[in-house]
Amino acid sequence: MIHLKHKQHRINRGAVLYTTFLLATFVFGCTQTVFAANMWDKANEIMRDVYNQIILISTIAAVVTASVALLLMNFSKSGKTVDESRAWLKRIIITWAILNGLGFIMAYITPFFAGGQWNG
């Protein structure tokens, strides 16, 4: 009687893990464009919402601080306080105009770059 040795087949766990990784990467790579479009739309929506909140808060802060500067400028007896109030009022107006101007610039320029291409 001849005894045949049975070879035990061992599963190579490294090969299985590597094959699973390749398949998962392939699946996610094929669906990336679908998810990316939704992701960029959502990011754009979030950034617009954040910018609108910043503009709202900055407008309220500008009105309050400009009011304080105007009150100090009008009711102060010290020339130094009046000069500092006038300087702060200029800074407040310039900063508020820049913040609002950025929104106008982005709203005007963004359509020229729609789809990653210059459409001018």
pLDDT tens by residue, 61-75: 999 999 999 999 999
DSSP string covering 42-89: HHHHHHHHHHHHHHHHHHHHHHHHHHHHHHHHHH---HHHHHHHHHHH
Residue 114 pLDDT grade (very low, low, confident, very high; cuts 50, 70, 90): low
**Nearest-5° Cα angle at 85, 93 to 54:** 35
Q: How far apart are CA 19 and CA 113, in angstroms?
A: 41
Q: What is the pTM of this model?
A: 0.56
Q: Half-sphere exposure of residue 89, counting CA atoms within 13 Å on the CB side?
A: 15
Residue extents of the structural domains in the chain: 41-113
Instruction: Tell me the mean pLDDT in the region 53-58.
Output: 90
